[in-house]
A and B are shown apart, each in its own frame.
Chain A
């Protein structure tokens, strides 16, 4: 396959995955009963574009399934079939199957055809039922209208049609050559009211084909047109209005105007479907290109901090050009910062990409457990870094599953305890103090702390008489191999959930906290840094070496006084306003023969990590500056206590402290 085809193929796959997501979310909102045409249309469009592309790329496994899917959706759209729980579930399942197929294409894996076949049969069974139940007139109409005395076609290209690259004249030519066409008649008209723009397409066409032409052939001509770039309506010209066609299988013919109203005026008017949302124009850029830009901007930040030192130098030298230099430097700094912000914002994506998976999960799990649960999403437009987003989805799925499985009670139990039968899970995202906060709140039973304790003892995590605080008790759920579910189900309870959740979140430099109240519910709060690439740092010296603290974690710094230092079994504590905090000596932790040893000679940086407070002993504090985080992993490996390295203004490398790992050291 040549390179260009490869690119198209990738785009197709990406769009198909987006299409699947759209299908899924729309299916979930699709109410039972008479179908909402607009929603069904959206689902139909997604299925259809998938089918169209599948043909092009030879994804034969997809074509048949999407075809059946289309037929089913089409019947719903035309009002011939109601939405029932059964067929909605079937549609949802076929979305899953399609996703499996697409995944396989993407990864070059083989496709489990039995699964696909089973799905096809299931859909066909549903379709078969309908044909029997339907009156024969409907099926008659379908067959009879396949060949008609002609078609009236209205083509109205959108303004930016020319950019689609499809030659409209060729299509018109093609129409005239359809088998059975005895005469084609084309009239054009100019869309008035628009100021003339040479790049816009302002012409619309009316085509009348006479002869015994099959609708399929007509549709085929428009197969490549998508509905956004050119609106096509096809109406059969027939003597009897009752024999109108209501089936259409191509996106180009998503609106089929009934023959009885197929007068020229009706056909030329904009059809009654939803106006396609005007989307902000955008381009697809590969993430590696953006990362390259992030890197380059990082270099710029370093170069800028290198230069800014000369501003001070010029001042000290009383250079006549000092002011001009400083002004220039300030400008550079401002622009660099602005540029950095905008580059970082490219990497940002709305958290809805992660949130959108949740309604389906809640739907499936609650159905399986016979629970009635409403999922409320808030702040879906909160933007997070793409890397964060990718690593966040799995933990969120775990927590949501847990809330549905362990948290929310069955409707009868809820009613008995005076709660509404329907449980609520609220998933929200918002910004707070340089962090992104994600909260998962349920109004379920809360975590049974006594049960957690009991399980922990059984699992050997805790000894029988060990005294722990309530907080520690809750934190037991994050312990590896811990599960309170009485039975291991396929939903949860295998005990590989919460420890993975916490690890993933820690990897992102974030924290997770749990609050719970018996009988009222639980709240999981995840805090994540805004970005992973750049950090506001506080430089600190230990001997010759410079270490960087994440500025956001520093509470204060104190000059230790002798009377407040206390030594307990070899570890030092410091009394800070009546609270004893543990002390970590960087030179000891890192086994470096550097820096001061007497606590009273140096400085204690009080930091907060999660809910832990401790003091880090350093020689002195230096300046604060933005630093670009470089992974040590790239050319070396992960180092305990170090989250990464950065390059300083003078070109030297400095290590960035990982306070989470330092805090483990204290335990």
Chain B
């Protein structure tokens, strides 16, 4: 049981990804953002999340270079230079919460998509489906 980790799974580029559920703050619909000047195109801008100013990043644009009006925002906590920041990531859809046995994690095959490899931690199989585990702190959201 100890190695069991609860994940939130989500769809991105027709693949199933999983992120540690303890990081998740909330899930919300995509809303209009206030753009941040001179930010990269995958930075959609900032939203007002009950009084906090939270930046929103489109993972689809960031790693797979496609755009879709549909989508959902996962608000989660990331560690950046020793500070915890609350950010929103835009994905295609949110699937489920599931338990994964971390002891069975396989190293992920390196794909050509170099950018994506940064945040892929490994693969686990849940109900005979492959889920790509992500290490969200590895993504450099804040670069200029």
Task: Assess the B48–A635 pair: CB atoms within 8 A.
Answer: no
Q: Check: B107 CB closer than 8 A to any chain A CB.
A: no
Chain A positions 618-667 with a Cβ under 8 Å from a chain B Cβ: 630-632, 634-637, 639-642, 645, 647, 651-655
A641: B residues at CB distance < 8 A: 37-38
Known contacts A636-B46, A653-B47; is-contact A630 B52 (Cβ 8 Å) = yes
Known contacts A636-B55, A647-B51; is-contact A545 B36 (Cβ 8 Å) = no
Q: Check: A590 CB closer than 8 A to any chain B CB.
A: yes
Q: State which of A298, A299, A637, A645 has its C-beta within 8 Å of the C-beta of B34.
A: A645
Q: Check: A589 CB closer than 8 A to any chain B CB.
A: yes
Q: State which of B33, B35, B87 has its C-beta within 8 Å of the C-beta of A635.
A: B87
B85: A residues at CB distance < 8 A: 634-636
Q: Check: B118 CB closer than 8 A to any chain A CB.
A: no
Task: Assess the A592–B37 pair: CB atoms within 8 A.
Answer: yes
B142: A residues at CB distance < 8 A: 636-637
* Proximity string of chain B (104-144) to chain A, C-beta cutoff 8 Å, 1 when within and 0 when not: 00000000000000000000000000000000000000100
Q: Check: B27 CB closer than 8 A to any chain A CB.
A: no
* Proximity string of chain A (174-196) to chain B, C-beta cutoff 8 Å, 1 when within and 0 when not: 00000000000000000000000
B34: A residues at CB distance < 8 A: 545, 645, 652-655
Task: Assess the A635–B54 pair: CB atoms within 8 A.
Answer: yes
Taking the closest CB of chain B, its distance from the CB of A294, in whole angstroms, is: 12
Taking the closest CB of chain B, its distance from the CB of A626, in whole angstroms, is: 16
> Which of A590, A631, A651, A653: most chain B CB closer than 10 A?
A653
In the assembled complex, the Cα of A631 lies from the Cα of B51 at a distance in Å of 12
Task: Assess the A647–B48 pair: CB atoms within 8 A.
Answer: yes
Task: Assess the A591–B37 pair: CB atoms within 8 A.
Answer: yes
> Which chain A residue lies CB-closest to B55?
A636
Q: Check: A295 CB closer than 8 A to any chain B CB.
A: yes
> Which chain A residue lies CB-closest to B46?
A653
> Which chain A residue lies CB-closest to B57?
A636
Q: State which of B39, B48, B86 has its C-beta within 8 Å of the C-beta of A652.
A: B48
In the assembled complex, the Cα of A654 lies from the Cα of B53 at a distance in Å of 10
Known contacts A645-B46, A653-B46, A653-B47; is-contact A635 B37 (Cβ 8 Å) = no
Taking the closest CB of chain A, its distance from the CB of B135, in whole angstroms, is: 19
> Which chain B residue lies CB-closest to A594?
B35
In the assembled complex, the Cα of A589 lies from the Cα of B38 at a distance in Å of 8
A630: B residues at CB distance < 8 A: 52-53
Task: Assess the B52–A634 pair: CB atoms within 8 A.
Answer: yes
Task: Assess the B54–A640 pair: CB atoms within 8 A.
Answer: no
By secondary structure, the B interface counts as strand
Taking the closest CB of chain B, its distance from the CB of A367, in whole angstroms, is: 42
In the assembled complex, the Cα of A592 lies from the Cα of B41 at a distance in Å of 11
Task: Assess the A590–B53 pair: CB atoms within 8 A.
Answer: no
Chain B positions 4-45 with a Cβ under 8 Å from a chain A Cβ: 32-39, 45
B53: A residues at CB distance < 8 A: 630-632, 634-636, 645, 647, 653
Q: State which of A295, A636, A655 has its C-beta within 8 Å of the C-beta of B51.
A: A295
Task: Assess the B38–A635 pair: CB atoms within 8 A.
Answer: no
B48: A residues at CB distance < 8 A: 647, 651-653
> Which chain A residue lies CB-closest to B84?
A635
> Which chain A residue lies CB-closest to B43?
A636
Chain B positions 50-92 with a Cβ under 8 Å from a chain A Cβ: 51-55, 85-87
A647: B residues at CB distance < 8 A: 48, 51, 53
B36: A residues at CB distance < 8 A: 632, 636, 639, 642, 655
> Which chain A residue lies CB-closest to B143?
A637
Task: Assess the A642–B37 pair: CB atoms within 8 A.
Answer: yes
Task: Assess the B47–A635 pair: CB atoms within 8 A.
Answer: no
Known contacts A636-B46, A653-B47; is-contact A592 B54 (Cβ 8 Å) = no
> Which chain A residue lies CB-closest to B39?
A639
Q: State which of B35, B39, B52 has its C-beta within 8 Å of the C-beta of A545.
A: B35
Taking the closest CB of chain B, its distance from the CB of A653, in whole angstroms, is: 4
A631: B residues at CB distance < 8 A: 53
In the assembled complex, the Cα of A661 lies from the Cα of B39 at a distance in Å of 16
> Which chain B residue lies CB-closest to A635?
B85
B47: A residues at CB distance < 8 A: 653
Task: Assess the B86–A639 pair: CB atoms within 8 A.
Answer: no
In the assembled complex, the Cα of A632 lies from the Cα of B85 at a distance in Å of 11
Known contacts A635-B86, A651-B48, A653-B48; is-contact A592 B55 (Cβ 8 Å) = no
Taking the closest CB of chain B, its distance from the CB of A408, in whole angstroms, is: 43
Chain A positions 599-628 with a Cβ under 8 Å from a chain B Cβ: none
* Proximity string of chain A (544-558) to chain B, C-beta cutoff 8 Å, 1 when within and 0 when not: 010000000000000
In the assembled complex, the Cα of A590 lies from the Cα of B38 at a distance in Å of 5
> Which of A636, A640, A652, A655: most chain B CB closer than 10 A?
A636
B87: A residues at CB distance < 8 A: 635-636
B33: A residues at CB distance < 8 A: 653
Q: State which of A302, A590, A653, A654 has its C-beta within 8 Å of the C-beta of B37.
A: A590
> Which of A630, A632, A635, A637: most chain B CB closer than 10 A?
A635
B37: A residues at CB distance < 8 A: 589-592, 639-642, 655
In the assembled complex, the Cα of A647 lies from the Cα of B49 at a distance in Å of 10
Taking the closest CB of chain B, its distance from the CB of A301, in whole angstroms, is: 11
* Proximity string of chain A (394-406) to chain B, C-beta cutoff 8 Å, 1 when within and 0 when not: 0000000000000
> Which chain A residue lies CB-closest to B144?
A637
Taking the closest CB of chain A, its distance from the CB of B75, in whole angstroms, is: 10
Task: Assess the A592–B39 pair: CB atoms within 8 A.
Answer: no
In the assembled complex, the Cα of A651 lies from the Cα of B38 at a distance in Å of 23
In the assembled complex, the Cα of A194 lies from the Cα of B47 at a distance in Å of 62
Taking the closest CB of chain A, its distance from the CB of B83, in whole angstroms, is: 9
In the assembled complex, the Cα of A637 lies from the Cα of B53 at a distance in Å of 12
A635: B residues at CB distance < 8 A: 52-55, 85-87
In the assembled complex, the Cα of A652 lies from the Cα of B45 at a distance in Å of 11
Taking the closest CB of chain B, its distance from the CB of A604, in whole angstroms, is: 20
In the assembled complex, the Cα of A640 lies from the Cα of B144 at a distance in Å of 10
Taking the closest CB of chain B, its distance from the CB of A655, in whole angstroms, is: 7
A632: B residues at CB distance < 8 A: 36, 46, 53
Taking the closest CB of chain A, its distance from the CB of B84, in whole angstroms, is: 9
In the assembled complex, the Cα of A522 lies from the Cα of B125 at a distance in Å of 73
Task: Beyond the given A590-B38, A632-B46, A652-B34, please list 14 additional residue pairs across the A-B interface where CB-CB is below 8 A.
Answer: A298-B51, A302-B51, A545-B34, A631-B53, A632-B36, A634-B52, A636-B36, A636-B85, A636-B87, A641-B38, A642-B37, A645-B46, A652-B32, A653-B53
**17 pairs from A and B in contact (CB 8 Å cutoff):** A299-B51, A302-B51, A545-B35, A591-B38, A630-B52, A631-B53, A632-B53, A634-B53, A635-B87, A639-B36, A640-B38, A641-B38, A645-B34, A647-B48, A651-B48, A652-B32, A653-B34
- Report the 8 A-B pairs with minimum CB-CB distance, sorted nearest first: A590-B37, A653-B34, A636-B55, A635-B85, A637-B142, A645-B53, A630-B53, A647-B48
